Amino acid sequence: MSGKLVNLAAAATLALLAAGAAQAREYPWCAHYGNSDSSATNCGFSTIEQCRAAISGVGGYCQTNPRYVPSAAGGGGRQSGRRN
């Protein structure tokens, strides 16, 4: 009986850790595999080169992800820190 309790506690702990680590993140490039009638989509690419490598040999095309919103941390605003 205690073995089942330990297994249950371990499973619950792993589920909580996985839920915290699995935050949804959108990437800027999507690979659309196959043709327009039956295609799968993977929007998990940071660069177009990664996307092109993923469709190489299997067919498809790359397109910008319409749900991707660049983070403000990527630059563009005021910079703080030392001056050169």
Distance CA 80, CA 22 (A): 31
Considering its fold, how many domains does the chain have in total?
Answer: 1
Instruction: Residue 34: give the domain boundaries.
Output: 24-67
In a domain, 28, yes or no: yes
Whether 78 shows a pLDDT value over 50: the answer reads: no
Q: What is the 3-state secondary structure of 11-78? A: HHHHHHHHHHHCCCCCCCEEEEEECCCCEEEEEEECCHHHHHHHHCCCCEEEEECCCCCCCHHHCCCC
**59 φ/ψ angles, rounded to the nearest 5 degrees:** 90, 155
Cβ pair 51, 72 in contact under 8 A:
no
In a domain, 57, yes or no: yes
* pLDDT, position 76: 46
In a domain, 11, yes or no: no
- pLDDT tens for residues 15-72? 544 444 556 789 999 999 987 666 799 999 999 999 999 999 999 999 999 999 988 7
